[in-house]
Every structure is written in structure tokens, then in C-alpha cells.
Amino acid sequence: MPRALLLENIDPVAVELLSSAGYEVESVRGALDEADLTAALDGVDVLGIRSKTQATADVLAARPELAAVGAFCIGINQIDLAAAAARGVAVFNAPYSNTRSVVELAIAEIISLARRLVDRDRSLHAGIWDKSATGSHEIRGRTLGIVGYGNIGSQLSVLAEALGMRVLFYDLEDKLALGNAEACGSLDELLERAETVSLHVDGRAGNAGLFGADQFARMRPRSLFLNLSRGFVVDHAALRENVLSGHIAGAAVDVFPEEPKEQGDEFASVLRGLPNVILTPHVGGSTKEAQHDIGRFVAGKLVDYVRAGTTTLSVNLPPVALHGSSAARFALLHHNAPGVLARADALVGQHGLNVDGQVLATRGQLGYVVTDVNDAPPPALLTALRAMPETLRLTAFPVRP
């Protein structure tokens, strides 16, 4: 029976999916260090981790039988992707599962900032009755500027519009404007026209310091500002100055240039204690629903890979999905060099088999081809394919009845 090891308290739906795919699943609450992980991987085909377990090149080298690693989260820095790819270990993550959670928090914060809920709440907890409409607004009819119109930005656009906001966006790429949203030609144009600005750019290195004193200065007086993307995108000293001067009427920040490592560690930030500023500890995507969807999504990708060689949305292997119902299938991961496919197919023919279906994709130095054939490949064929100098990994899937 194939085995799966799931670490770091992964949602039970992943256990269910892998079990029903025929896996013996061991689920562990915590992370493991390198030595314990290497030992625990003895005889394991599929590993599931979150952010705290390091799948290093050494771990992967020590356990060549490992077929796939699932990162049950968004981030994949904890996995040596190149080392995994070179060994034919497919890595999957869950890039979209918490999109909705981030969007809902952003919506909640836009309304909270517009109504100065944080200040009202703080006053009342301090025993001060401060009933007034000063500084409180509906969001209906106001203009939201979304910077970065990807998965999160575009979904925020739809929900904000449903609440009656007018939506502008700016993205580096040409993006389809959803609903009545309007694309801006530049970041400056967006900043000059929007009353609430929300950042949803990705973490590329070029976005470091994207938003600083110049960008705040361009924003309309008494605007609201949100960042739920990456901490290093915003200059927090400049944000503090703009909140204190009143130019920015309120801000919500979920991500920070430096975040405490452990639960309960002290949080240091120049934004602490500012009026109408909501600070949250990077919880935009942290909901039960997102965790459940991550479990379902990543376990599904692992099962599709180990059952059929499907690498769609793998973060390190070329994307291949072959749909077919032939008797047998094998997958060949190889160095991307001229003539490999022709030689592999010639070997198939020499062993008396017919290719029923085949899909090849390449990614940098890697080529990956999944082949359906009309009968079970004889061991001599598999040996010959493995012996090709370009072969990195050959996987033969169980023959269909």
C-alpha cells in the first residue's frame, strides 16, 4: 500500500482524499526537523507540509522513492524546488484557496475604516460615549483603487462593486476589467482618482518599496489605505507620517516587512497606536474555509499526479495532463534535449507496443512526457527507457483492467 505522511496539522479532508485513493496516511500535528523528517520519510511516497517543514535537497537526496510534495499553503520557499524537479519530485501548492478570505477581510476593513469603527470601539471600551457622524461615511458611491488586479484584486473588484463602490484598478499587465471596473493607465492616475487604495500586488523583488512618501502624497486628502499583499511593498514610516498629518484618514495593514516568528512574540511596528489604523497579524487568508479548501485542492493534485502523472499547476515540473483510457501509461521526466521523444517512442515500437496518446511539455531544462500505450510495458522497455542518458525519472502506472 502506498504511504503518505502529512505534517503540521493539515485539514482532515486531505487525509480523506488520500485514503480513498488507496494511501495509508499518517498525520502529525507539528513540523519535523531535517533529521526527523528524513527518518519519517522511510517508505513514504507522498509528503504533505505547511510552512514550517524544510524539504531540503539533502532530505530529497536521502529519500529518492518520494514521488511528490504537497505544500498545503501558498508559499513554497520551504522546498528546494530545483532539487525536487531534478529528482522528478512534483511539488504542488494552493495558490487560490484563500483568495476569498483575503477579499472578505479587505471589504470588512474598508467599511470599518470608513466608519472609524476601531476608534469608536476603543473609546467605548475606555468608557467614553462619543456618538457623532464626524468622519463616518458609507462606502456606496465611493471610489476604490485596486493596485494589482490578479486573483485577489479582481475578486475584490467584484464584491466592492456589488456594495456600490466605483472600482478603478492598475496592473502591470493588460487585465480584463470585470463588471464596470475601469483600468487606469498608471499608478499615479489611480492614486489621484481613488478615495480608497488597496494593494494586491505579488511579491516580485521589484515591488520592494513600491509605495512610499511620493505615492502617499499623490493620494487624495483624507483617503483610506489598505495593504494585505506583502509587507516590504510599503514604507511604514511614510504611512505613519501621513496618518499623523491626517492626509491618510485611516489604514489597514495585514502584512509587515518583519513579522514575529512565533506565536506570542512581541510585534514591533511604527504603526502601533495610530488612530483609525487596523493592524492584523497576517491573517488575511487564515480561515477554516481556506484551510479546508487548501486540503482539498493540494490532496487532489497529489492524487492526480501519483495516479495519472498529471502535473497541471505543479510549481516545479512542466504542466502535462493526458486524458485517455488506454491499457497502460508511463511518464518520463528527462533533460530537455533534442531527440529524446523520438528515441523513447522508437523503444516503445521496438517492444511491440503502440502509442495511443501522448503529451509533452518542457520547462527550462526539463522535459516531461506522459504516454498511453495499448498494453502493459514489458520490463525490458522500462529498463531501456530508464537507461537513456537524459532520463531523470520514469514512472509506470498500474495497468488498467
Ligand X SMILES: NC(=O)c1ccc[n+]([C@@H]2O[C@H](COP(=O)([O-])OP(=O)(O)OC[C@H]3O[C@@H](n4cnc5c(N)ncnc54)[C@H](O)[C@@H]3O)[C@@H](O)[C@H]2O)c1
The residues carrying an active-site annotation are 230, 259, 282
3-state SS class at 2: coil
Query: Between residues 234 and 249, which has the closer beta carbon with respect to ligand X?
Result: 234
The least distance separating ligand X from the CB of residue 396, rounded to whole angstroms, comes to: 36
> DSSP secondary structure string, 109-164?
HHHHHHTTHHHHHHHHHTT------TT---STT-EEEEE--SHHHHHHHHHHHHTT
3-state SS class at 376: coil
CA torsion angle 11 17 22 26 (round to 10): 0
The least distance separating ligand X from the CB of residue 10, rounded to whole angstroms, comes to: 18
The least distance separating ligand X from the CB of residue 226, rounded to whole angstroms, comes to: 10
- Cβ-closest residue to ligand X? 150
At 284, the amino acid letter reads G
**Alpha carbon 20 to chain centroid, angstroms:** 25
At 349, the amino acid letter reads G
At 194, the amino acid letter reads A
Query: Between residues 37 and 102, which has the closer beta carbon with respect to ligand X?
Result: 102
Reading the block at residue 256, the C-alpha cell is: 509587515
Query: Between residues 227 and 316, which has the closer beta carbon with respect to ligand X?
Result: 227
Query: Between residues 101 and 276, which has the closer beta carbon with respect to ligand X?
Result: 101
Q: What angle do CA 198, 144, 146 make, to 5 degrees?
A: 40
The least distance separating ligand X from the CB of residue 340, rounded to whole angstroms, comes to: 33
Whole-angstrom distance, CA of residue 248 vs CA of residue 377: 68
Reading the block at residue 306, the C-alpha cell is: 501519483
Query: Between residues 227 and 311, which has the closer beta carbon with respect to ligand X?
Result: 227
CA torsion angle 304 310 313 314 (round to 10): 90
Query: Between residues 151 and 326, which has the closer beta carbon with respect to ligand X?
Result: 151
Whole-angstrom distance, CA of residue 212 vs CA of residue 221: 16
Query: Between residues 66 and 255, which has the closer beta carbon with respect to ligand X?
Result: 255
The least distance separating ligand X from the CB of residue 6, rounded to whole angstroms, comes to: 22
CA torsion angle 146 152 158 163 (round to 10): -70
Phi, psi of 90 (to 5 degrees): -80, 140
The least distance separating ligand X from the CB of residue 344, rounded to whole angstroms, comes to: 35
The least distance separating ligand X from the CB of residue 286, rounded to whole angstroms, comes to: 6
The residue ranges that bind ligand X (CB under 6 A) are: 74, 98, 102, 147-153, 170-173, 200-204, 207, 210, 228-230, 254-255, 282, 284-285
Whole-angstrom distance, CA of residue 83 vs CA of residue 80: 5
3-state helix, strand, coil in the chain (%, to 5): 35, 20, 45
Query: Between residues 57 and 74, which has the closer beta carbon with respect to ligand X?
Result: 74
Whole-angstrom distance, CA of residue 277 vs CA of residue 271: 8
Whole-angstrom distance, CA of residue 328 vs CA of residue 308: 10
Rg, the chain, Cα only:
26
The least distance separating ligand X from the CB of residue 283, rounded to whole angstroms, comes to: 6
